[in-house]
Amino acid sequence: MDNLEKILSDIKGADENSKAKAKERLDNLAKPLGSLGHLESIAIKISGITGKLDNPMKNRHLIIMSSDNGIVEEGVSCCPQNITLIQTINMLRGITGVGVLAKHAGAKLKVVDIGINADVEYPGLYNKKIRKGTWNISKGPAMTREEAIKSIMIGIEMVEESVREGAEVLGTGEMGIGNTSTSSAVLIAFTGADADMVVGKGAGLTEEAYENKKRVIKQALEINNPDKNDPIDVLAKVGGFDIGGMAGCFIGAAYYRIPILIDGLISAAAALLAYRLNPLVVDYMFPTHCSAEPGYKRIMEELKLQPMLNLDMRLGEGSGCAVAYDILDAANDVITKMATFEEATIVNDFLVDIR
Ligand X SMILES: O=C(O)c1cccnc1
Could you give the residue numbers annotated as active site?
A: 317
Shortest approach of ligand RBZ to residue 85 CB, angstroms?
A: 11
Establish if 74 lies at the interface with ligand RBZ (CB under 6 A): no
Those residues whose C-beta lies under 8 Å from the C-beta of residue 17, and which sit 6 or more positions away, are none
Those residues whose C-beta lies under 8 Å from the C-beta of residue 3, and which sit 6 or more positions away, are none
When the beta carbons of 55 and 180 are compared against ligand X, the nearer one is: 180
Establish if 171 lies at the interface with ligand RBZ (CB under 6 A): no
Q: How many residues bind ligand RBZ (CB under 6 A)?
A: 17
What angle in degrees, to the nearest 10, is found between the helix axes of 319-337 and 97-105? 20
Contact (Cβ atoms closer than 8 angstroms) between residue 336 and residue 54? yes
Establish if 307 lies at the interface with ligand X (CB under 6 A): no
Establish if 178 lies at the interface with ligand X (CB under 6 A): no
What is the largest distance, in Å, between two alpha-carbon atoms of the chain?
A: 73
Shortest approach of ligand RBZ to residue 239 CB, angstroms?
A: 13
When the beta carbons of 136 and 180 are compared against ligand RBZ, the nearer one is: 180
Those residues whose C-beta lies under 8 Å from the C-beta of residue 135, and which sit 6 or more positions away, are 70, 141, 142, 143
Contact (Cβ atoms closer than 8 angstroms) between residue 126 and residue 62? no
Residues listed for the chain: 355
Nearest to 62 by CA among 251, 260, 241: 260
**Piece of the chain touching ligand X by CB under 6 A; list 63-71, 116-124, 220-228, 288-296:** 288-296
Shortest approach of ligand RBZ to residue 96 CB, angstroms?
A: 6
Contact (Cβ atoms closer than 8 angstroms) between residue 323 and residue 333? no
Of ligand X, ligand RBZ, none, which one sits near residue 48, judging by CB under 5 to 8 A according to partner kind?
none
Q: Is 255 left (phi over 0), alpha (psi -120 to 50) or beta?
A: alpha
At residue 115, the 3 state secondary structure works out as strand
When the beta carbons of 48 and 70 are compared against ligand X, the nearer one is: 70
When the beta carbons of 92 and 203 are compared against ligand X, the nearer one is: 203
At residue 55, the 3 state secondary structure works out as coil
Establish if 320 lies at the interface with ligand RBZ (CB under 6 A): no
Shortest approach of ligand RBZ to residue 294 CB, angstroms?
A: 13
Establish if 315 lies at the interface with ligand RBZ (CB under 6 A): yes
Contact (Cβ atoms closer than 8 angstroms) between residue 69 and residue 182? yes
Shortest approach of ligand RBZ to residue 341 CB, angstroms?
A: 47
Q: What is the x/- site pattern for ligand X, positions 315-344, by CB under 6 A?
A: xx----------------------------
Establish if 136 lies at the interface with ligand RBZ (CB under 6 A): no
Residues of this chain that interact with ligand RBZ (CB under 6 A) are 77, 79, 83, 87, 174-181, 202-203, 315-317
